[in-house]
Chain A
Amino acid sequence: AAGVIQSPRHLIKEKRETATLKCYPIPRHDTVYWYQQGPGQDPQFLISFYEKMQSDKGSIPDRFSAQQFSDYHSELNMSSLELGDSALYFCASSIGQLLTGELFFGEGSRLTVL
C-alpha cells in the first residue's frame, strides 16, 4: 500500500542557508501534519493543513513556512537555518481531521545544519 513519501530523506545545510522539505500524503488523504523531532526528543507538532488551508499551528519558528498544494502535497520551507534546526522532520497524513482519522507517518527527512 502507498505510504507517506518524504523527500529528501537526508539533507545537509550550512547555517543561514535555506531548506525545503517535501511531503506527499497517501492518496486521497487531505490533511497533512509536520512534526520536528530533535535528537533524543519526542516529536513536536509544527503545523497542519486541511484541504490546503492551515488547520493548526504549533511551535513553528517564524523562519519556517509551509503550505499545502492543490495536489495535497506539502512543503516545509526553512530559512536562516540554525544549528538547533538539526532534527528529523516527519510528515503525516490523514483522511479528514484528527476527529475522524488516524495519522500515518512518513519515514522522515533528517536535516543536519553545520
Chain B
Amino acid sequence: AQSVTQPDIHITVSEGASLELRCNYSYGATPYLFWYVQSPGQGLQLLLKYFSGDTLVQGIKGFEAEFKRSQSSFNLRKPSVHWSDAAEYFCAVGGPMEYGNKLVFGAGTILRVKS
C-alpha cells in the first residue's frame, strides 16, 4: 500500500535560517505530490504540488520542493524562515486512479521558529 514518511516529528530553526522538511513516499508509480501547511485549529492550505515536468516546484510563501525519483523523496525547502512559518507541515501523495482517488498524508512535521 502507498505510504508517506515524514521522519522529523519536530524541527526548530532560527528565524532567518534555511529550512528543509523531509518527505519520502512508497508508491507503485510516480505519484502526485503535495505539501500542505496547517496552523493550529485551522484547515489545510496547499503550499505546492508536483504532477509532472520540472522536478523543482515553486509554491506560495517562498517555499519550494524538489522531486527526486531515485530517492522517492519530495523535500520542502525555504531559504529564510519567518516566525509566521511556525505551523505543522504535511506531505501528501495521490496518484492514478488505480491507487484510489484520495490523498495519503504523512504524519506531519511541526516547525518551531525561534527568534
Contact = CB atoms under 8 A, between A and B. Distances in A.
Interface string B89-107: 0100011110011111111
Interface stretch (A11-19, A64-72, A105-113): A105-113
Contact of A98 (B44, B45, B101, B105): B101
A105 B106 contact: no
Contacts of B36: 105
A44 B107 CA distance: 10
A76 to B, nearest CB: 15
Interface in B29-62: 32, 34, 36, 41-46, 49
Contacts of A77: none
A92 B41 CA distance: 16
Nearest to B97: A99
A50 B101 contact: yes
Given A43-B90, A98-B95, A108 B103 contact: no
Interface string B45-86: 110010000000000000000000000000000000000000
Interface in A56-94: 56, 58, 90, 92
A106 B34 CA distance: 17
Contacts of A50: 101
Contacts of B103: 33, 43, 45, 98, 103
B101 A108 contact: no
A7 interface: no
Contact of A102 (B34, B96, B97, B102): B34
Given A42-B90, A99-B96, 7 more contacts: A33-B103, A43-B103, A43-B105, A90-B43, A103-B103, A105-B44, A107-B43
8 contacts: A33-B103, A43-B90, A48-B101, A56-B100, A56-B102, A58-B102, A97-B101, A99-B101
